[in-house]
Chains A and B, each alone.
Chain A
Amino acid sequence: MLATGALTHSNCIVGQSDIWTMISPFPKSASAAGEGHIVVRLLPHDVSALESITYQYPLKLISPTVKATQQSVVVFLLSYGGGLVGGDQVNLRIDIQSLARLSIVTQGHTKIFKPAIPGTITRQKLSVDIQDGAALCLLPDPVQPFEGSLYEQGQAFHLNGSASLCLLDWVTHGRAARGENWDLLKWTGRNEIWLKNQGTGLKDRLLVRDTVLLDGTPKSAHTMPLREAMHGHAIFGTLILRGPLTNSLGEFFRTEFSALPRIGARDFRTTEERQKSAERSALERWRATRIQQESQDGVLWSAANVRSCMVIKFGAATVEAGRNWIGSMLAQEASLERNFGEDALLCVR
């Protein structure tokens, strides 16, 4: 399979097998590596379906067959061998037409290997266009940069006014089993949310540009190693929410953030009083358990409204703790599963 090189793979899920050949912008002779394009549209009876899906090595896209009951199209974003080697470039474009819904998941961590030739940067680019009423739920597994890896990820989301987006971007400290702990050379993750200007002549408006720059290159004596700068976190993540389909989730995070116990406060209640107040609603019991778990797992998080997007940042002492935390938050609120189907949350449980 690896030897097929830049052959264009394609499959068509809609059932009209000639559609993709007409629409695909990539001629079969295209030499650019890792190009991909997904177009999703709404079929009658409110079923989202793929209009076209094309990809090239090292990118691989798989979508299970369409079900009449599905909330959204699910596409697995894969790479051959489950990782990207030095110099691999992936360039994926996604168009989600009006009212259609797409969920993107992965199968296991995206491993970023150390490049064979020093200085070669591995890049992933994602460019998404979401029309009015349409939605994307992007909940992949975290990126796992290995020792010595050089990685750049740029994701740009262009949204119409009533488009919705749920985006998770997270990175781990590497292969813990091999003693790696933020031993990467460089990791850059940039997420841009643009509000499209549908009027004429005006530019799109940048709503959020969230950039994380991790630099593990050997430093001068004055600056500290990346490992120390990460302060005991094994995973660091960003969840960005925007649009009507994510409003309730955003509100949930805001409420939960406000409900966190004050740092440095003392609890002067007696054990009896505490037990009494523990007999509360299901949500309050869940919250109490979660907060205890957060404290045990070293989960730190914050939520902020940034120019009409909700941005949640979190870090945890172990990768699993980070995954459990975000998974339990999303499961408790449940609107993502309702709006996108349970497969959309494959990577966070």
Chain B
Amino acid sequence: MSPQIRDEGADEDAARVEAEIADLEARLQSAKERKERLSRSSPSAASNSSNSNNNDNDTLARSPSPPTSSHHFLLLLSDSALPLGSFAFSSGLESYLAHQRSSVRKTGQQSRPSFTADFLPLSLSSYASTTLPFVLAAHRDPTAVADLDDQLDAAVICTVGRRASIAQGRALLGIWDRSFVSSSAAPSSSPASSASSTTAAAAEVLKPFSALLRSAGSSSSPSSSASSASATATATATGSDPQLPPPVSAHLGPLFGAVCALLGLTLPQTAYVFLLSHVKALVSAAVRASLFGPYQAQRVLASPETQALITAFVAREWVTPPEDAGQSVPVMDLWIGRHEMLYSRIFNS
């Protein structure tokens, strides 16, 4: 994608993504309402609507417009109970708070750290500019996930951020391998179902990636800067070629894009859920760091400002090729990189 084409299409794309996001939000809303109704409805109500629908999610078939399996997976992937271990990471929030406190102590200024006015927009901007282009690219072509993963690994320049991204990426790959593939490919009773046949083919897409990851797994430890540093030192000392980085590391971004594509989520859905999950993780970390309570947390999540932020950043990165991704908030790298220097820590990043 050449820069020129991007320039010309930017306005059009921005308008399109606005429309798509509005549509997505409406659909998310309706899906949530349906979910709500489902949870309230009694078992007897469920039994009398036993119309056979050609959808592999029969349990959801009671709604007036039958939802597709992608709706189901949209809800699963946006669930904060998705076991990625996101709760262990604060994406620099903990470090940010410590740095703000120490600068307040030094300068005596009473500039209280602000989550909603300062850290949240900065963190989201940074996450979108560094990672979202990789999510979008992997969604557009899930077979390219290994190459995208390698490119992202070269672009993540801080140890702490890399550790967080890889831990969650591997967890997602595990969920895909162990849970999503088998459960969605299983209902072979409906051979006409396009969803299950797509998933059967989709199951193959990430297999080479998993194989690469396993082959690389034992030979290197990308999460440990100390060991790779000494490995490099010995490699160069013996005069041989320095050790190459592992072929894949399993970062969260590209895998999330690929998994969403394989489960039938649309590109705007994927982008929105990816950024929303980041906001949810930050807000959850803020609650546990005692910045505010759970009601304030829901207010932040529900606020039009948060929605507008996500929409704006999805629009900003919609046509950014992964080669052009980069850090839009340089100080974020410092906060995340210096997380290791905190005296006491409750998070891993």
Contacts and interface: CB of A to CB of B under 8 A. Distances in A.
Contact of B334 (A207, A244, A251, A300): A300
A308 B245 contact: yes
Interface string B85-103: 0000000000100110111
A263 B236 contact: no
B98 A304 contact: no
Q: Name the interface size band of chain B.
A: 35 or more
Contacts of A188: 326
Given A161-B241, A222-B121, A264-B342, A315 B334 contact: yes
Given A213-B328, A247-B236, A223 B312 contact: yes
Contacts of A231: 331
Contacts of A220: 308, 312
A213 B243 CA distance: 30
A178 interface: no
Contacts, number: 153
B331 A230 contact: yes
A205 B244 contact: yes
A213 B326 contact: yes
Main SS class of interface, B: helix
A214 interface: yes
Given A162-B236, A162-B239, A223-B125, A206 B151 contact: yes
B44 to A, nearest CB: 47
B216 interface: no
Given A214-B328, A264-B102, A308-B245, A208 B309 contact: no
Residue in A220, A251, A306 with the greatest tally of chain B CB atoms within 10 Å: A306
A209 B155 contact: yes
A229 interface: yes
Interface of B: 95, 98-99, 101-103, 106, 117-118, 121-122, 125, 129, 150-151, 153-159, 162, 225, 228-229, 232-233, 235-237, 239-245, 305, 308-309, 312, 323-331, 333-334, 337-338, 341-344
Given A162-B236, A222-B121, A302-B338, 14 more contacts: A161-B240, A212-B327, A222-B305, A244-B236, A247-B236, A262-B341, A263-B99, A264-B344, A300-B331, A304-B158, A305-B229, A307-B245, A313-B333, A315-B334
Interface of A: 161-162, 188, 190, 195, 205-215, 220, 222-224, 228-231, 233, 236, 243-244, 247, 250-251, 254, 257, 260-265, 295, 298, 300-308, 310-311, 313-315
23 contacts: A205-B244, A206-B151, A211-B325, A212-B330, A213-B328, A220-B308, A222-B121, A223-B121, A223-B309, A224-B117, A236-B330, A247-B236, A251-B233, A257-B341, A261-B341, A262-B341, A263-B343, A300-B331, A302-B333, A302-B334, A311-B158, A313-B157, A315-B331
